[in-house]
Structure 1
Amino acid sequence: MRTFILATALAVLGPGLGLAAPEMAAELREVTEWKAVFGRVEARDMIPARSRIGGTLISIKVTEGSPVTEGQQIADIYDPKLGLQLDSVQGQIDALQSQLENAETELQRGEDLLQRGVTTAQRLDALRTQVEVLKNQIEATRAQKRVIEQQAVEGAVLAPIAGKVIDVPVTHGSVVMPGEVIAQIGGGGFFLRLAVPERHAGYLKEGIEIRIGPDGESKPGRLAKVYPQIENGRVIADVEVEGMSSEFVNARVLVSLPVGRRTALVVPADRVDTRMGLDFVTVRGPDGGPVDRAVVVGGPLSVDDTPMVEILSGLTEGDVLVDRHE
């Protein structure tokens, strides 16, 4: 009776105590084939902040890496010609205003003379026309002044989007032309951009999971977009990674892509014993006893969340793995 109880206890506790491992056969399993490529950290939107007028850059308030908000003033451009033009236009307005005052006086005098019968109605109509023409000229000149004032306001360079300053190609005191880039703004979130050889294009589907990091499991990613145009024999694709660092734009990150499936002879990782630089697995020999067999192993695999290793040579399908201490 005691022997039966002891045998039952060992059978139950044996796997936990490492006394014996269940027998299993080496088998072919379908595994995912991964392709290691490098991705670059890029901003989703890369928009330049441009100058709207030409002139001298008298101040620049951001540097590379500075965060900005949409509409924030990041630089100021000064054109001295605008001030001179404003003075010229204001002089024209003052001169026209004086002419208008004189024309209105002449019109009032003409109306008085018409009541006395000294002048003609035609002369009075000419005076009225002259007053209207001067008023219109003053209004047109004031509109021209508003245009110049708006040009002066546009000397402020504004950030087109919220994000981070990627590049500032100009310095204080630079002479810039209208439309010249003052700063490059990256925003809209950051992602990884991949260039994958075109032979793998058929396996790239939007939404598939991607492995990020040197060990392939640092962070999960998702293939967000595959671009239809092939450039230099490579397919361009974008990968979204939650919480990805944007400290260094254009930084290279190792990425593993699923590019197909194949069959491989796999065994559990704990069944491989490494001794003196060689890898062994214990199989059942022809006489039914355990035999150590040297094998050549491939890379680690995960099959149904179980750590496995691929056996490249030394085993065949159907070989029975036994505990090495049996």
Structure 2
Amino acid sequence: MNLRSFALLSASIFFQSSLLWAQDSFLVKQQEIEDQKAVLATVQTVDLTPARARIGGTVVELLVDEGSLVKAGEVIARIKDEKLQLEKQAVDARMASLQAERKLAQIALTRAQRLRKSGAGSQARLDEARTNLDVVLKNLKAMDNERELVLQREREGAVLSPANGRVLSVKVTSGVVVMPGEAIASIAEETYILRIEVPERHARFIKVGDQVQVGERSMSTDNGGKLRAGTVRQVYPEMQNGRVVADVEVSGLGDFFIGERIRVFVSTGTRTTFLLPKEYVYSRYGLHYVRLKDKTEIVVQPGRLMNDHYEILSGLREGDELIGAGS
């Protein structure tokens, strides 16, 4: 390689390095961000529905336990009332008696019709026989409806799940006596939300539709920057113990426990700060550094990591121009 070629190659390398530095440079300037506060949220179900007994009696069978998945209309328990069997037997006996009366009334009507046709019977006797048969038939109809009512009450001994979801608690055991309307189990519907409580001084900053950041499924103080987006779906108008209660909708809560706690970051206003991409910050001997364009190293104090950007609490001034750690 001659001297001219070497000079051209050196100039090309220097130009590419300068271009890389120019591309990697970052100008520090203040940015306005939302000031976020970490609050504890608890996993709750949108609706907690009780499965109630429709008749009184004794619980003879429980088909679910805490944690069981159920579908709407599924039988979760059976209740038996011994009096219903006695009522059904009484109705059956009365229907048998009315059947005998119906046969007798039919015989009487047939005889009256024959006598009337031969001229030996009166029209009044025929009308009376026809009316007696009609009364017996209507009584049979009423008794049949009464028997169906008893059977329906017997069928209502099956306690049905009111919705799709998970059994949160079972309030009875087999063999206990329950009254009509008594809760047998509580069903948590499949739709889960996060319920947060925000201090009163921050109440004016939270509203329906706001975006919040939800931490990982852990009570650890270090979330590794892994945050999920959630949306405020409801803000309750009544304060409780000086706190505003709100519901946050976030995906992926189906396998959480009801009552499990998660950290949620909510907006409490805005402020100005320095945001720096994390690749411009490097550590050495427990300290965090950045490199200015003139390759001077400066110690900085980074804050929380937000979307691959560190909030720089101290060490930088507006207008500083930085280059990457490897430059």
TM-score range, shorter chain: 0.7 to 0.9
TM-score w.r.t. the length of structure 1 is 0.80
Partner of 2:265: 256
Partner of 2:67: 65
Paired residue for 2:233, among 221, 225, 250? Answer: 225
Return the alpha-carbon distance in structure 1 between the equivalents of residues 274 and 214 of structure 2: 26
Return the alpha-carbon distance in structure 2 between the equivalents of residues 138 and 168 of structure 1: 43
DSSP-derived class of the 2:237 partner: strand
TM-score w.r.t. the length of structure 2 is 0.80
Partner of 2:219: none
The Cα shift of 1:253 comes to 1.2
Among the aligned pairs, what percent are the same residue?
34
Partner of 1:33: 35
**Does residue 235 of structure 1 match 2:221?**
no
User: Aligned AA for 1:43?
Assistant: T
User: Aligned AA for 1:175?
Assistant: V
The Cα shift of 1:240 comes to 2.7
Preserved contact between residue 196 and residue 236 of structure 1 (Cα < 8 Å): yes
Partner of 2:181: 179
Paired residue for 1:300, among 292, 300, 304? Answer: 304
The Cα shift of 1:268 comes to 5.7
Partner of 1:52: 54
Partner of 2:109: 107
**Does residue 161 of structure 1 match 2:163?**
yes
DSSP-derived class of the 1:230 partner: coil
The Cα shift of 1:300 comes to 2.4
Cα 1:245–1:127 change in 2 (3 A) is: closer
- Map residues 80-159 of structure 1 onto 2, 5 A cutoff: 80-159=82-161
The Cα shift of 1:67 comes to 1.2
User: Aligned AA for 2:226?
Assistant: S
Cα 1:294–1:156 change in 2 (3 A) is: same
CA-to-aligned-CA distance 1:115-158 (integer Å, 9 cap, x gap): 44444322322222121111111110110000000110111111
Preserved contact between residue 39 and residue 252 of structure 1 (Cα < 8 Å): yes
CA-to-aligned-CA distance 1:74-112 (integer Å, 9 cap, x gap): 111111100000000111111112122222222222333
The Cα shift of 1:298 comes to 5.5
User: Aligned AA for 1:139?
Assistant: K
Aligned length: 316
Cα 1:109–1:6 change in 2 (3 A) is: same
Partner of 1:190: 192
Return the alpha-carbon distance in structure 1 between the equivalents of residues 232 and 177 of structure 2: 42
Return the alpha-carbon distance in structure 1 between the equivalents of residues 72 and 202 of structure 2: 39
Return the alpha-carbon distance in structure 1 between the equivalents of residues 94 and 289 of structure 2: 99
Worse-superposed segment, 186-195 or 60-69: 186-195
CA-to-aligned-CA distance 1:168-187 (integer Å, 9 cap, x gap): 11111111111111121122
Return the alpha-carbon distance in structure 2 between the equivalents of residues 113 and 36 of structure 1: 99
Return the alpha-carbon distance in structure 2 between the equivalents of residues 270 and 247 of structure 1: 35
User: Aligned AA for 1:299?
Assistant: G
Return the alpha-carbon distance in structure 2 between the equivalents of residues 31 and 244 of structure 1: 28
Preserved contact between residue 279 and residue 324 of structure 2 (Cα < 8 Å): no
Return the alpha-carbon distance in structure 1 between the equivalents of residues 225 and 172 of structure 2: 41
Cα 1:187–1:131 change in 2 (3 A) is: same
Preserved contact between residue 207 and residue 222 of structure 1 (Cα < 8 Å): no
Return the alpha-carbon distance in structure 1 between the equivalents of residues 37 and 105 of structure 2: 86
The Cα shift of 1:198 comes to 4.1
Worse-superposed segment, 138-147 or 26-35: 26-35
Return the alpha-carbon distance in structure 1 between the equivalents of residues 27 and 232 of structure 2: 40
